[in-house]
Amino acid sequence: MIAVKTEKLRHVYSPQTPFEKVAVDDFSLEIEEGEFVGVIGHTGSGKSTFIQHLNGLMKPTSGKVFIHGRDMWADPKKIREFRFMVGLVFQYPEYQLFEETVEKDIAFGPTNMGLSAAEISDRVRTAAEFVGLAPEVMQKSPFELSGGQKRRVAIAGVLAMQPKVLILDEPTAGLDPKGREQIFSQISEYHKKTSSTVLLVSHSMEDVARHAKKVLVVNDSKLFAFGTVNEVFARTEELTAMGLSVPQVTKIFTELKRRGFDVADNIFTVEQAKTELLRLLGKAGGNNA
């Protein structure tokens, strides 16, 4: 099943004016249901514009978007249905919190969907569990919480809509390493348990390599690459040339390879690096050590 499909998707800002700018230039791609896709690209590359097309916040200048086979703009009146199918967590989502209590804030999305009270409270509870919010937090004002907690409340607010496709725009921006780790493991957990499709926008190649199966690279308004982590990060030189870089371990291994060592060229995480080095050093099985 194809979860997300775009056909020659194109978006032009301020068309027919001197400020005309093509932000998304003919993107055609298919994302399988249940995939975990990392989205990388510079600020201003067009990736934010692109992801806002996937839940109908932006309307294509031309081209089409299909979610689970349905043409998004076939009937513009039904666009809200797509917003519920594709959940979008913006950068710094804690700035959108507004309700008196955490519980009510998480319930905002499900309430807009017109669900029953029982269903809403059920979803709010599940979503809160996913992001590790303790029950006693639920009746607090979201404004009393710490930065990391607010972030998780905001993410729960989108998870509670139980979208088929979940898009997160730099969900860990500005957090400390511990907070980053927590959010990533919660997202992974959510992905595994619900087998929903996840798109993760990130500037950290290390994080993308660790969590995503596939990588989508946007550069200069064009879809530069869409493939498995191996395929995409193998293009180290091109990625570096566009200033995107690759994970630090990959750089180390590329350099080793350049120096004539017979190392594998698909090393993207510390875990993989360790296994590979132990193999080379003749300590197979060291993986379990």
Partner 1 sequence: MENIINAQQLVFAYSGEKEAALKGVSVSVSKGEMVAVLGHNGSGKSTFAKHLNAILLPSGGVCYVGGINTADEDKLLDLRRTAGMVFQNPDNQIVATIVEEDVAFGLENLGIPPEEIRERVDSALKDVGMYKFRLHAPHQLSGGQKQRIAIAGIIAMRPQLIILDEPTAMLDPRGRAEVIETITRLNRELGMTVILITHYMDEAAACDRIIVMDDGRLLIDDTPKKVFSNVALLKRVGLDVPQATEIVYELKKCGIDLPDDIITDEECVEALASLLSKKGEVQA
Partner 2 sequence: MLKDITIGQYFPGESAIHRLDPRMKLIMTTIYIVALFVANNVGGLLVCVAIGLAGYLISGISLSMVKKSLKPIMPIIIFTAVLNMIFVDGKPIFEFWIIKATYEGLQLAVLMVIRIVCLIAGSSLLTYTTSPIALTDAVERLFDPLKKFNMPVHELAMMMTIALRFIPTLIEETDKIMSAQKARGADMESGTIIDRARALIPILIPLFVSSFRRADELALAMECRCYHGGEGRTRMKQLKYTGNDFVALAVLVMVLALVIAMNLILPSMY
Interface with partner 2 (CB under 8 A): 13-14, 19, 52, 55, 57, 80, 83-84, 87-88, 90, 93, 95-98, 108-109, 112-113, 143, 157-158, 161
219 contacts which partner out of partner 2, partner 1, none, CB within 5 to 8 A by kind? none
* Residue 6 Cβ vs partner 1, minimum distance, rounded to whole Å: 24
CA 155 from centre of chain: 12
* Residue 105 Cβ vs partner 1, minimum distance, rounded to whole Å: 21
Q: Which is nearer to partner 1, 203 or 222 (CB)?
A: 203
46 contacts which partner out of partner 1, partner 2, none, CB within 5 to 8 A by kind? none
Q: Which is nearer to partner 1, 108 or 233 (CB)?
A: 233
Nearest-angstrom CA–CA distance, 91 and 75: 29
Specify the amino acid at residue 184.
F
179 contacts which partner out of partner 1, partner 2, none, CB within 5 to 8 A by kind? partner 1
Which residues here bind partner 1, judged by CB under 8 A?
A: 42-44, 146-148, 173-179, 203, 206, 243, 245, 247-249, 251-252, 255-256, 259, 261, 270, 273-274, 277-278, 280-283, 286, 289
* Residue 141 Cβ vs partner 2, minimum distance, rounded to whole Å: 11
Q: Which among 213, 219, 178, 220 has a CA at the least distance from the CA of 199?
A: 213
273 contacts which partner out of partner 1, partner 2, none, CB within 5 to 8 A by kind? partner 1
Q: Which is nearer to partner 2, 108 or 268 (CB)?
A: 108
Cβ-contact 165, 4 below 8 angstroms: yes
Q: How far is CA 19 from CA 13, 14, 15, in A?
A: 8, 6, 8
Which residues have CB under 8 Å from 78's CB, separation 6+?
Answer: none
Place of tokens 């775009």: 6
Nearest-angstrom CA–CA distance, 198 and 165: 6
31 contacts which partner out of partner 1, partner 2, none, CB within 5 to 8 A by kind? none
270 contacts which partner out of partner 1, partner 2, none, CB within 5 to 8 A by kind? partner 1
Q: Which is nearer to partner 1, 159 or 209 (CB)?
A: 209
Nearest-angstrom CA–CA distance, 220 and 213: 23
Nearest-angstrom CA–CA distance, 264 and 271: 13
Q: Which is nearer to partner 2, 77 or 258 (CB)?
A: 77
Q: What burial class does residue 42 get, using C-beta atoms within 10 Å of its C-beta: 0-12 exposed, 13-18 middle, 19+ buried?
A: middle
Cβ-contact 213, 225 below 8 angstroms: no
